[in-house]
Amino acid sequence: MIRFAPIAATLPASVPFVGPETLERRTGRPFAARLGANENGFGPSPRAVAAMQAAATDAWKYGDPTSFDLIDALAAHHGVQPGNIVVGEGIDGLLGLLVRLLVAPGDAVVTSDGAYPTFNFHVAGFGGTLHKVPYRNDAEDPQALLDRATETGARLVYLANPDNPMGSWHKGAVIQAMLDRMPEGALLVLDEAYAEFVPAESMPDIDPDDPRVIRMRTFSKAYGMAGARMGYAIGHPDLIAGFDRVRNHFGVNRTGQAGALAALADQDWLARVVTWVAAARDRIAAIAAHNGMTALPSATNFVAVDIGRDGAFARRLVDALATEGVFIRMPGVAPLNRCIRISCAPGPELDILAQALPRALKTL
Amino acid sequence: MIRFAPIAATLPASVPFVGPETLERRTGRPFAARLGANENGFGPSPRAVAAMQAAATDAWKYGDPTSFDLIDALAAHHGVQPGNIVVGEGIDGLLGLLVRLLVAPGDAVVTSDGAYPTFNFHVAGFGGTLHKVPYRNDAEDPQALLDRATETGARLVYLANPDNPMGSWHKGAVIQAMLDRMPEGALLVLDEAYAEFVPAESMPDIDPDDPRVIRMRTFSKAYGMAGARMGYAIGHPDLIAGFDRVRNHFGVNRTGQAGALAALADQDWLARVVTWVAAARDRIAAIAAHNGMTALPSATNFVAVDIGRDGAFARRLVDALATEGVFIRMPGVAPLNRCIRISCAPGPELDILAQALPRALKTL
């Protein structure tokens, strides 16, 4: 009855991730520990909270469609020009716009099998053809990505550093070397959602005007503002200007703009969060070891825990933990799906995890 | 240097609207009266403000990607099913998704010359071919829209009721009759951003499962929450489900969801705003008359004021008012651009308008 356009007509009514609220409605009770979406329960800077609360009375005004003040502050923070930065409704929103700008129907795009599903959702959504290479030693494999990009004439190559869902991480020099070997016509989509958990001097040193790469950043993770939907991208000014051709100019909310500006100004809070997250990773590793499992090294605010069993068992464990009131997720494909993925959180929520995990295992 | 995809490559780096913050940065001082974007300075319900402030501490959590509670409340409010409603980042965001779902490159789309530019932006952005018919008596012309849709085999026909930028309004029976004459294969995009300013019983009576129409609604206007970016659409469940194929599932911010839910529950506040807006329209008409101009009838929270001169003069008046600290806008095409467009606002801002308008006129 509804005549969808050709690409839309072929798409499933898919949902990249089922939210915890949907799971809570199924079980009829709220999660006691929300550890599945790599949210940051240490929360935003108190200054960001205050800024968002103050902005609520101004909610009758549209946000500045240019996000001028925020982009200005971000440019100073990163030592780049304002023309190198675009702000959008989270990295998810920016990934969709990027695919739309660069990928025509049938164009090849390369990613890793098990990497961020929402990127794949956007590639499919604009008719791109997705090519996947396997992880290598639980990390995305730059050489395999480059080889496949060359073979397929890819327009985009996606790599998250640090990686989600495994938490692994490549040194800056590896990323820089990858950039130098990118095939002609391909753009590296470098998803740095978890970058703030890595010391700045260990991240790749990339010229902001380099036309071979775009870097995705967010206030959702280390800054603790997932609900505010504030993401940004750093790239060549011509590419960044391209977003103005297609973006929802008034799509970013005013409260989030105010919160992001205040959060960025409070780097002391960020540094404390990074310390707390590191301690939480150790705690999760200890809980895992106590249950006969092995935490993988992580440079993010989550830990992939190898449970030493297959994906079917891991799925049952995720479900059993949900029954125990603990929300976690797991990688979607083998061999990554021998792991469960647990987000860092304050002590009380990890206490709940520590109590729930042995109980959940006993039910299996 | 950047290889854009074919459609993106042809698009200008356009901005549908220049925001007041950009104009303020040009002049170096803030506007004393912000009357240009049809924002609602009476503001959101105090309960919505409180809900948004309370939600700020929960900003570390993603919003529910299904907007379940809000859709449930909206469905009850409108007497439809949850499957008839999709929530998105303002009507602007939903219009973009709708075009993407239904318009293939080269497909025809019909609108009125001078109607909402952001809709046109999205049609161009997905490669659609836009056909425009003139306004008739300062109102969008259903018969002309239908005729052009039939001629061109249009996929979408856009009509705002009440209209922006003229404030004019068609009775429900006119819209219902238009629907019955829609050509096969065309969908009516009925933009009802200003619907709450019209008595509910005077709006068209449309079956929510009617596959010939989708209705766009928003919390930006009567609910006074433009900065929160909360819009929704009501339509056939198959069309509504289609949005899940392409939307940014986590694009709506959590604070806005909380605010919208509280705003919807406070219909008393909404009723008071509607009364205040009606009084502000009368005040704007009086100010216009005092300056030898004629306010057009309006069913919205803004007034198109016929200044009895051409578009060039109107543009100079808009600029002169900006110099006087008053932000307004004007229609973009003749003959609508013999008017300026002034948003309703609380008394103090209209006092500023009353003082600034004669001064601005004197400078011309």
pLDDT of B1 reads 79
Residue B108 falls inside a structural domain: yes
CA distances for A323 relative to A34, A304, A326, A345, B66, angstroms = 13, 20, 7, 19, 22
Burial class (CB in 10 A: 0-12, 13-18, 19+), A205: exposed
Least confident of A157-161, A197-201, B296-300: A197-201
pLDDT of A13 reads 82
* B314-339 b/e (C-beta count within 10 Å ≥ 16 → b): beebbebbbebbbbbbbbeeeebbbb
Provide, rounded to the nearest whole percent, the portion of chain A with pLDDT above 70.
100
- Residue A65 to residue B241, Cβ atoms within 8 A: no
Q: What are phi and psi of B108, to 5 degrees?
A: -85, 140
Report, as an integer, the average pLDDT of A329-347. 97
Place of tokens 């979406």: A37
Please determine, for residue B17, whether its predicted confidence score (pLDDT) is greater than 90: no
Report, as an integer, the average pLDDT of B131-156. 98
- Residue A22 to residue B229, Cβ atoms within 8 A: no
Answer yes or no: do A50 and A180 share one domain: yes
Q: How confident is the prediction for chain B on average, in pLDDT?
A: 97
pLDDT of B201 reads 86
- Among A211, A237, A265, residue at a domain's last position: A265
The nearest CA of chain B is from the CA of A362 a distance in Å of: 30
Answer yes or no: do A155 and A206 share one domain: yes
Residue B245 falls inside a structural domain: yes
Report, as an integer, the average pLDDT of A292-307. 98
- Residue A60 to residue B68, Cβ atoms within 8 A: no
In B, which residues are within 8 Å of A254 by CB distance?
A: 226-228
What does the alpha-carbon distance between residue A244 and residue B104 come to, in Å, rounded to a whole number? 21
Place of tokens 């970058």: A195
What does the alpha-carbon distance between residue B264 and residue A121 come to, in Å, rounded to a whole number? 32
| CATH number, domain containing residue A100 | 3.40.640.10
Report, as an integer, the average pLDDT of A318-340. 97
Answer yes or no: do B63 and B212 share one domain: yes
Please determine, for residue B267, whether its predicted confidence score (pLDDT) is greater than 90: yes
ipTM (interface predicted TM): 0.97
Nearest to B246 among A11, A220, A228 (CB): A11
Answer yes or no: do B25 and B142 share one domain: no
pLDDT of A277 reads 98
- Residue A246 to residue B13, Cβ atoms within 8 A: no
What does the alpha-carbon distance between residue A19 and residue A52 come to, in Å, rounded to a whole number? 24
- Residue B66 to residue A8, Cβ atoms within 8 A: no
Give the range of the structural domain holding residue A258, as residue numbers without chain letter: 46-265
Residue A219 falls inside a structural domain: yes
Residue A6 falls inside a structural domain: no
CB distance A156 to A189 below 8 Å: yes
Residue B7 falls inside a structural domain: no
CB distance B311 to B342 below 8 Å: no
- Check if A212 contacts B (Cβ < 8 Å): no
Answer yes or no: do B168 and B228 share one domain: yes
Residue B1 falls inside a structural domain: no
Give helix B254-265 / helix B68-78 axis angle, nearest 10°. Answer: 30
- Among A236, A265, A294, residue at a domain's last position: A265
Please give the tally of structural domains in chain B.
Answer: 2
Answer yes or no: do B31 and B111 share one domain: no
Nearest to B245 among A14, A17, A250 (CB): A14
Q: What confidence tens digit (pLDDT) does each residue in B213-238 have?
A: 999 999 999 999 999 999 999 999 99
Interface subset of B 315-334, CB within 8 angstroms of A: none
How would residue B258 be classed by pLDDT, with cut points 50, 70 and 90?
very high
Answer yes or no: do A174 and A231 share one domain: yes
Residue A11 falls inside a structural domain: no
- Check if A131 contacts B (Cβ < 8 Å): no
Report, as an integer, the average pLDDT of B297-325. 98
| CATH number, domain containing residue B35 | 3.90.1150.10
Answer yes or no: do A237 and A275 share one domain: no
Q: Quick one: closest CA in B to A123, which residue? A: B246
Answer yes or no: do A37 and A103 share one domain: no
What does the alpha-carbon distance between residue B236 and residue B206 come to, in Å, rounded to a whole number? 11
The nearest CA of chain A is from the CA of B146 a distance in Å of: 19
Answer yes or no: do A175 and A199 share one domain: yes
- Check if A62 contacts B (Cβ < 8 Å): yes
Q: What confidence tens digit (pLDDT) does each residue in A121-180 have?
A: 999 999 999 999 999 999 999 999 999 999 999 999 999 999 999 999 999 999 999 999
Please determine, for residue B15, whether its predicted confidence score (pLDDT) is greater than 80: no
Q: What confidence tens digit (pLDDT) does each residue in B159-193 have?
A: 999 999 999 999 999 999 999 999 999 999 999 99
Interface subset of B 107-126, CB within 8 angstroms of A: 107, 118, 125
Please determine, for residue B58, whether its predicted confidence score (pLDDT) is greater than 90: yes
Nearest to B19 among A52, A62, A155 (CB): A62
- Residue B43 to residue A53, Cβ atoms within 8 A: no
CB distance B236 to B209 below 8 Å: yes
In A, which residues are within 8 Å of B11 by CB distance?
A: 245-246
- Interface mutation vs chain B, best among A64, A72, A253, A269, most B CBs within 10 Å: A253
Residue B213 falls inside a structural domain: yes
pLDDT of A307 reads 97
- Among A210, A236, A265, residue at a domain's last position: A265
In B, which residues are within 8 Å of A2 by CB distance?
A: 102, 211, 236, 238-239, 242
- Interface mutation vs chain B, best among A24, A34, A61, most B CBs within 10 Å: A61
How would residue A199 be classed by pLDDT, with cut points 50, 70 and 90?
confident
- Check if B2 contacts A (Cβ < 8 Å): yes
Report, as an integer, the average pLDDT of A268-296. 98
Report, as an integer, the average pLDDT of B308-317. 98
Does B87 or B27 have the greater pLDDT score?
A: B87
Instruction: Supply the DSSP symbol for B33.
Output: E
- Check if B34 contacts A (Cβ < 8 Å): yes
Interface subset of B 82-111, CB within 8 angstroms of A: 89-90, 92-93, 96, 100-104, 107
What does the alpha-carbon distance between residue B231 and residue B235 come to, in Å, rounded to a whole number? 14
- CA B186 distance to own-chain centroid: 22
Answer yes or no: do A178 and A197 share one domain: yes
Nearest to B224 among A60, A155, A244 (CB): A60
Answer yes or no: do A50 and A168 share one domain: yes
How would residue A5 be classed by pLDDT, with cut points 50, 70 and 90?
very high
Please determine, for residue A244, whether its predicted confidence score (pLDDT) is greater than 80: yes
Please determine, for residue B327, whether its predicted confidence score (pLDDT) is greater than 80: yes
Interface subset of B 289-318, CB within 8 angstroms of A: none
Q: What confidence tens digit (pLDDT) does each residue in B190-215 have?
A: 999 999 999 888 899 999 999 999 99
Per residue, the 3-state secondary structure of A123-185, as one string, reads HHHCCCEEEEECCECCECCHHHHHHHHHHHCCCEEEEECCCCCCCCCCCHHHHHHHHHCCCCC
